[in-house]
């Protein structure tokens, strides 16, 4: 029996998934992406009072999403174009479930990997042009990609770690819950609630299809070790980037400290 895992969003957690219509053309899909990007830039610019930073961050989120899209293409997974949702992030939707946890992990990893490359490129550009706002964009982007690597589904980190061991989800869940309690900012409460709700659904789905899921998560030990090493390596490179960007910012606007 096919596990009835729903078609899921890669980003953001639990947001209403655009219905996989099947007939959406490339131009139509990406014109929606562009429109949703412009709306998100406008809302974000109004919120932080800096349209340049808002536009830069949204472009780098697009780079992250395109990492997922390109990986999906390579892996033969049909996905929708990214759709941006103000205050939450962006989403692509898989039109069918991945074959196994490793395929899901590779697709998930490609997002923060592309985001990491984009953030470093942005930081390099900032230094070449001496533009402080580009440093801010890089710092926010390093932070966002790190957040997405928290090991809890539906975040990218939760999907990558699932190919190593689903026990990673426990510290991930605690980290999200802890952050909600400590920050208790409305945005973190909203995003945290969506993540926890979606994680609960995923765990419940896994539990109700235990036999199929055992097959789904079957991966060799060396491959698990390799995924774990790449996961921790990417976190390391993002942390170095965040600290480099923060070092270039005046103390008043540094991020992630």
CB of 247 to Zn ion, least distance (A): 26
CB of 42 to Zn ion, least distance (A): 23
Longest dimension (CA), the chain: 58
- Nearer residue to Zn ion within complex by CB, 41 or 113: 113
CB of 61 to Zn ion, least distance (A): 9
Q: Closest by alpha carbon to 169, among 156, 153, 155?
A: 153
**Binding residues for Zn ion, per CB under 5 A?**
11, 111, 156
Q: Is the peptide bond before 154 cis (omega within 30 degrees of 0)?
A: yes
CB of 10 to Zn ion, least distance (A): 5
CB of 127 to Zn ion, least distance (A): 26
Go through 25-35 and write b for each residue having 16 or more CB atoms within 10 A of its CB, e for each that does not. Answer: eeeebeebbee
CA–CA separation, 38 and 32 (whole Å): 10
- Nearer residue to Zn ion within complex by CB, 5 or 11: 11
CA–CA separation, 183 and 95 (whole Å): 35
- Nearer residue to Zn ion within complex by CB, 54 or 116: 116
- Nearer residue to Zn ion within complex by CB, 126 or 148: 148
Q: Closest by alpha carbon to 216, among 99, 77, 71, 72?
A: 99
Q: Where are the beta strands (DSSP E) in the chain?
A: 83-85, 89-91
- Nearer residue to Zn ion within complex by CB, 69 or 123: 69
């Amino acid at each position: 029996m096919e596990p009835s895992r729903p078609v899921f969003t890669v980003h953001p957690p639990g947001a209403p998934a655009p219905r996989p219509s099947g007939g959406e053309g490339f131009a139509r899909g990406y014109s929606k992406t562009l429109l949703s990007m412009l709306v998100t830039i406008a809302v974000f610019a109004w919120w932080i009072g800096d349209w340049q930073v808002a536009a830069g961050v949204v472009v780098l989120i697009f780079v992250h999403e395109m990492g997922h899209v390109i990986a999906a293409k390579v892996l033969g997974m049909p996905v929708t174009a990214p759709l941006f949702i103000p205050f939450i992030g962006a989403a692509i939707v898989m039109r069918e479930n991945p074959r196994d946890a490793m395929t899901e992990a590779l697709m998930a990893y490609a997002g923060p990997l592309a985001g990491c490359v984009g953030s470093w490129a942005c930081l390099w550009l900032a230094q070449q042009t001496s533009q402080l706002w580009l440093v801010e964009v890089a710092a926010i982007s390093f932070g966002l990609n790190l957040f997405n690597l928290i090991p809890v589904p539906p975040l990218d980190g939760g999907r990558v770690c699932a190919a190593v061991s689903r026990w990673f989800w426990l510290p991930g869940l605690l980290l999200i819950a802890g952050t909600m309690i400590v920050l208790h900012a409305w945005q973190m409460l909203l995003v945290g609630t969506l993540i926890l709700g979606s994680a609960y659904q995923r765990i419940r789905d896994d539990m109700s299809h235990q036999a199929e899921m055992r097959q789904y998560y079957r991966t060799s030990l060396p491959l698990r070790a390799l995924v774990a090493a790449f996961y921790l390596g990417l976190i390391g490179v993002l942390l170095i980037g965040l600290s480099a960007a923060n070092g270039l910012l005046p103390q008043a606007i540094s991020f992630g400290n």
